[in-house]
């Protein structure tokens, strides 16, 4: 095998394809950089436009409606004093609501009661507020909290002041049966935390079925 005159193919190739001379290199690099920039800019604009049109096609602008609940309904609960036992009682205690957005109204006819240890923060309802006699609140004043309506498995917590009307809205999307109860110490016995109607089914506890 005979060696080539310089014996180095790489050097050979390099000498056959010389790079731009140092004087023109700056201008040429700037030129190709700006061409590259324009290419990227053009591609970027085209891609953005394409994505934009795609989004418009996929999500046509709604005709004035901001949210579109599938279905909404009402559920009315009343807290009154049971004539026989003298205990405060939710009615109905066991009920069924439709899936979708449900607007609850609790009409509390029981007398006002102070519960200063009350956590009293509303949770699990739309916008995080309940309406007390038409006024939206995130936390219920503890000086007058007669009862509550809690569904732990839905993260739902609302409080009902005495002699008031409470309203709240929840999105109940999944069917099922959920237990509810009142956590406000409304027991009629010596210990209001443990005596009936606290925890008493049909009075301060029950079940809500979503169907
Ligand atoms: Cu209660």
The alpha carbon of 93 and the centre of ligand 1 are apart by a number of angstroms equal to: 12
Residue 98 · residue 78 · CB < 8 Å = no
More confident residue, 29 or 42: 42
Looking at residue 24, its pLDDT comes to 46
Looking at residue 20, its pLDDT comes to 46
Nearest to 160, CA basis, from 179, 133, 180, 178: 133
Split at pLDDT 50, 70, 90, the class of 10 is very low
The alpha carbon of 98 and the centre of ligand 1 are apart by a number of angstroms equal to: 25
Query: What is the per-residue pLDDT across 73-130, written as a single tens digit (0 to 9) for each?
Result: 999 999 999 999 999 999 999 999 999 999 999 999 999 999 999 989 999 999 999 9
The alpha carbon of 135 and the centre of ligand 1 are apart by a number of angstroms equal to: 22
Tokens 């809205």 found at = 169
Residue 13 contacts by C-beta under 8 Å, 6 or more apart in sequence?
Answer: none
The alpha carbon of 195 and the centre of ligand 1 are apart by a number of angstroms equal to: 11
Query: What is the per-residue pLDDT across 77-87, written as a single tens digit (0 to 9) for each?
Result: 999 999 999 99
Phi and psi for 69 in degrees, rounded to 5?
A: -60, 140
Looking at residue 71, its pLDDT comes to 87
Domain 72-210 has CATH 2.60.40.420: yes
The alpha carbon of 143 and the centre of ligand 1 are apart by a number of angstroms equal to: 15
Looking at residue 14, its pLDDT comes to 41
Query: Is the pLDDT reported for residue 169 higher than 50?
Result: yes
The alpha carbon of 204 and the centre of ligand 1 are apart by a number of angstroms equal to: 5
Query: Is the pLDDT reported for residue 162 higher than 80?
Result: yes
Q: What percentage of the chain has pLDDT greater than the value 70?
A: 67
Split at pLDDT 50, 70, 90, the class of 49 is low
Looking at residues 152-163, what average pLDDT do you find?
Answer: 98
Q: Return the exposure string of 110-123: e unless at least 16 CB atoms fall within 10 Å of the residue's CB, then b.
A: beebebeebebebe
What are the residue ranges spanned by the domains of the chain?
25-62, 72-210
Residue 26 contacts by C-beta under 8 Å, 6 or more apart in sequence?
Answer: none
The alpha carbon of 48 and the centre of ligand 1 are apart by a number of angstroms equal to: 58
Looking at residue 57, its pLDDT comes to 56
């Amino acid at each position: 095998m005979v060696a080539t005159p310089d014996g180095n193919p790489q050097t050979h190739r390099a000498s056959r394809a010389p790079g731009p001379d140092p004087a023109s290199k700056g201008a040429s690099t700037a030129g190709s950089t700006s061409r590259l920039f324009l290419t990227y800019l053009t591609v970027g604009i085209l891609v953005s436009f394409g994505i934009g049109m795609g989004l418009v096609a996929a999500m046509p602008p709604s005709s004035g409606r901001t949210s579109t609940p599938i279905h909404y309904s009402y559920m009315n609960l009343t807290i009154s004093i049971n004539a026989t036992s003298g205990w405060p009682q939710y009615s109905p205690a066991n009920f069924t609501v439709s899936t979708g957005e449900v607007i609850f109204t609790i009409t509390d006819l029981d007398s006002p009661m102070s519960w200063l240890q009350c956590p009293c923060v509303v949770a699990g309802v739309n916008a995080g507020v309940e309406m007390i006699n038409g006024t939206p609140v995130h936390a219920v004043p503890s000086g007058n909290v007669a009862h509550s309506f809690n569904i732990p498995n839905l993260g739902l917590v609302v409080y009902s002041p005495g002699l008031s009307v409470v309203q709240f809205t929840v999105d109940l999307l999944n069917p099922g049966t959920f237990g509810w109860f009142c956590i406000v110490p409304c027991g009629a016995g010596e210990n209001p935390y443990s005596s009936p109607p606290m925890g008493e089914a049909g009075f301060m506890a029950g079940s809500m079925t979503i169907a």
